[in-house]
Structure 1
Amino acid sequence: MAQEPNSELRDFLRSRRAKITPEEAGLAPQPGTRRVPGLRREEVAQLAGVSVDYYVRLERGRHLNVSASVLDAIARALRLTDLERGHLFRIAKPARTRPRPLPPQRVRPGLRLLLDSLTDVPALVYGRRMDVLAANDLAVALYTDFEALPAHSRNMARLVFLDDHFRTLYADWEGAARGIVASLRLYAGRHPHDPALAELIGELSVQDADFRHWWADHDVFQRTHGTKRYHHPVVGELVLGYEAFAPADDPEQTLGVSTAEPGSPSAERLKLLASWSRSPQHPAPAAQPDAPRP
């Protein structure tokens, strides 16, 4: 019985090929008008040192025994980053047997204690699919009271795309949202048969046009550090650094910690937010997820 084409591999290769110009790939300019964005299939084949027929079958997702050396050559031809190269290897060599169901994730008591001990900075523990597994008090004040939400809604992707509070919280909402989509795409390469992921992608695709468009881009991303800008309804503008750490015994959980430059206006506002959050008459910003989007 013939195997189904590898659609994830097909779409990823097409998307990467469309994003690189002949000049960026080191090819000499050719006269005439190009009919396709980026590289042609035959140009990728030339750069990778494989036959055009071989590459065409691979891009159609029909070559399931591709070697590591060929994947390396294609990664070089398409100028893939290390993260994109790893993603290519994962989706090009899918598991032959269907994996076992993923067990529920729980935050270890020691990690929870560490999270709660971080009283001066917002900190979250993310799980699979960007589920929010735990948050300290300052993260609740910055984002929302996750535990007050239905379990289904404690997911950063759902909140960022479907909740108006989160759309106004991020000063660069598009940048934050694109990063989330690319993180989910990377996760999909690791767990292509996760039914909860399929449900999440289906829901966001139906309810948000931006998500549909960016999901089709096949970008992959893993946030390890960086800077985020917020417009908080209580303390105003915040510019916070971000660092992510994965416990050695569970790489699918991530401790995300936000910090402010000492002495900066953001540091002072973070202190104000911490003070405000400890006042019982000031609840955390309320999220209202799952509002349909056009």
Structure 2
Amino acid sequence: MPIDLGNALGHFLRDRRARLDPVTFGFAPGRRRTPGLRREEVAQRSNISPTWYTWLEQGRGGAPSTDVLNRLASGLMLTEFEREHMFILALGHPPEPRYKEPEGITPRLQRVLDALPTSPAILRTATWDVVAWNRAAATVLTDYSTLPRESRNILRLMFLNPRVRVAQDDWLRVAQFVVASFRADAARAGATAEITQLVEELSGNSPEFEALWRNNDIASHGDGLKRLHHPVLGPIELEFSTFAVEGRPDLTLMIYNPSTAETTEAVRRLVEKPDPAGLAIPG
């Protein structure tokens, strides 16, 4: 029987319905012609009309609302990736972002960072909290392990830490870029409410931050060149690039590559020392 490619949403819903065990959700197994939940059981779990759910599987009745889709995501126990796919099938675009607090990182992600011996690399959240880093980052940038968890925030370090300020080649330019990129990241991730306390704290302690925040500038933090005054290495240049982490929309990977072979070798020697100390910060 040929597949109806015009009803991709219906096929997706039927497939996910078939994967659910009725007994797990308190439904009697009974005699079922097909595996998984019945249509009326999915409708019950999703708090929608059985008729409306049937129409959705049959490709009838038009596009569902975002509320219905979110109910279906809950009723069908969809992962966040599956929920996003369902929205794209139904509406042609992903759902509005819903910011979730990061759940930590896997050992596999940490190994990705550690595989870059001379390139400082960090993982940061949409609210610009640094949650993971490698030895090169601790050496060249900041040893985040020595900071309280709430202080591992790039905005707090940029505006409230005098040593970080001195390390920047052009602090004001970097600060402008950081604030504009931070604003765009938080909005894109749906984290507007989550940054309110941080913005109020920084505005109350840094007139410069308050002025930059009021400018309402936005910028992309994709890639660029960073110049630092390192206490051991002296003036250095790092090329930075940012990457999305597949399956972890709450995280961004930032990698800083030394711009010359000489800087790479200098970083390598410093990283190999028993107790290297980094005093700068990414921006």
Q: Structure 1-normalised TM-score?
A: 0.58
Matched AA of 1:240: L
SS in 2 for 1:110: helix
Alignment partner, residue 219 of structure 1: 217
Matched AA of 1:106: G
Q: Check conservation: 2:118, 2:271, Cα contact below 8 A.
A: no
Amino-acid identity (%): 33
Matched, 1:276 2:270: yes
Tell me the distance in 2 between the aligned counterparts of 1:275 and 1:152: 31
Q: Check conservation: 1:229, 1:238, Cα contact below 8 A.
A: yes
Shift, 1:157, TM fit? 0.8
Larger radius of gyration: 2
Tell me the distance in 2 between the aligned counterparts of 1:249 and 1:281: 35
Matched, 1:135 2:133: yes
Matched AA of 2:119: V
When the two structures are aligned, how many residues end up with a matched partner? 187
Q: Structure 2-normalised TM-score?
A: 0.60
Matched AA of 1:248: E
Alignment partner, residue 199 of structure 1: 197
Q: Check conservation: 2:227, 2:236, Cα contact below 8 A.
A: yes
Alignment map for 1:57-206 (pairs within 5 Å): 102-190=100-188, 194-206=192-204
Tell me the distance in 2 between the aligned counterparts of 1:192 and 1:270: 38
Cα 1:276/1:205, change in 2 over 3 Å: same
SS in 1 for 2:105: coil
Q: Check conservation: 1:244, 1:257, Cα contact below 8 A.
A: yes
Aligned-residue RMSD, C-alpha: 2.4
Matched AA of 1:273: V
Shift, 1:100, TM fit? 7.0
SS in 1 for 2:225: strand
Matched AA of 1:122: P
After TM superposition, the structure 1 stretch with the greater mean CA deviation from structure 2, 184-193 or 248-257, is 184-193
Shift, 1:163, TM fit? 0.6
Shift, 1:196, TM fit? 3.9
SS in 1 for 2:127: helix
Give CA deviations for 1:77-132 in whole Å, capped at 9, x if unaligned: xxxxxxxxxxxxxxxxxx7xxx9772333122221111011102111111121111
Tell me the distance in 2 between the aligned counterparts of 1:249 and 1:137: 25
Alignment map for 1:227-266 (pairs within 5 Å): 227-261=225-259, 264=260
**Where in structure 2 are there 5+ consecutive unaligned residues?**
1-95
Q: Check conservation: 1:277, 1:283, Cα contact below 8 A.
A: no
SS in 1 for 2:250: coil
SS in 1 for 2:255: strand
Q: Check conservation: 2:223, 2:239, Cα contact below 8 A.
A: yes
After TM superposition, the structure 1 stretch with the greater mean CA deviation from structure 2, 244-253 or 227-236, is 244-253
Runs of 4+ in 1 over 6 A off after TM superposition: none
After TM superposition, the structure 1 stretch with the greater mean CA deviation from structure 2, 221-230 or 180-189, is 180-189
Tell me the distance in 1 between the aligned counterparts of 2:275 and 2:116: 23
Shift, 1:175, TM fit? 1.7
Matched AA of 2:149: A
Tell me the distance in 1 between the aligned counterparts of 2:127 and 2:227: 23
Shift, 1:260, TM fit? 2.5
Tell me the distance in 1 between the aligned counterparts of 2:224 and 2:258: 12
SS in 2 for 1:273: helix
**Where in structure 1 are there 5+ consecutive unaligned residues?**
1-94, 288-294
